[in-house]
Amino acid sequence: GAVVSQHPSRVICKSGTSVKIECRSLDFQATTMFWYRQFPKQSLMLMATSNEGSKATYEQGVEKDKFLINHASLTLSTLTVTSAHPEDSSFYICSAWDSYQYFGPGTRLLVL
Amino acid sequence: KNEVEQSPQNLTAQEGEFITINCSYSVGISALHWLQQHPGGGIVSLFMLSSGKKKHGRLIATINIQEKHSSLHITASHPRDSAVYICAANSGGGADGLTFGKGTHLIIQP
């Protein structure tokens, strides 16, 4: 079946730094990718929808200048958390659409 | 905005028991997903369905569009089935982000 990878799987960074998370569809092309966030003991929440070659669509309450999304090719979308703060610590999951949503394994971000 | 409710929130059962997890949603959908999340966090898609019933191994998913309700059943449950099961609603066309339920934390004891 279709595989979606994320890199890194886990990252620890200092407050104020920026962190880039990659989401790749390995064996299919995805015109649409999604970024979700999950805080401990809570459900996943959609952050943004990323379409190849156009600007991402952000959900209400998600700061587009803080969470930069780039979908430069049909197999790669990146999420950059700029000037990360401890409250950004979370589990970030991407999914890619190809007649079905295929989920990546997630990236656990810890901001100290 | 679709509201997705799951029940129960937590379920502990003995190995071999028949398990049912319920999901209801408030707005009509194009599809409903059942997902499995293990302690490490990774998510596996179990089913996507828009009508009727689907079966995969010991897992069965059903949906009633009129009642806006779906169920996930596990037959002959096993400790390796222990995980969080999440239903998610696709309210728009196919390539739309999902609205997730809070999940059901299932523990199967040997």
Q: Is the dihedral of CA B24, B30, B31, B37 positive or negative?
A: negative
In this predicted structure, what is the pLDDT of residue B97?
A: 79
User: How far apart (Å, rounded) are the C-alpha atoms in residues B54 and B62?
Assistant: 7
CB distance A85 to A8 below 8 Å = no
Distance in Å, alpha carbon of A43 to nearest chain B alpha carbon: 5
- Rg for chain A (alpha carbons), in Å? 13
CA neighbor of A76 nearest in space, from A62, A96, A100: A96
B95 touches chain A (CB under 8 A): yes
Residue in A31, A32, A43 nearest the CB of B101? A43
- Kindly report the number of other CB atoms within 10 A of residue B79's CB atom: 11
CA neighbor of A50 nearest in space, from A29, A72, A66, A28: A72
User: How far apart (Å, rounded) are the C-alpha atoms in residues A98 and A106?
Assistant: 19
pLDDT (tens, 9 = 90+) of chain B, 110 residues, equals: 778 999 999 999 999 999 999 999 988 888 899 999 988 778 888 999 999 999 999 999 999 999 999 999 999 999 999 999 999 998 766 567 788 999 999 999 99
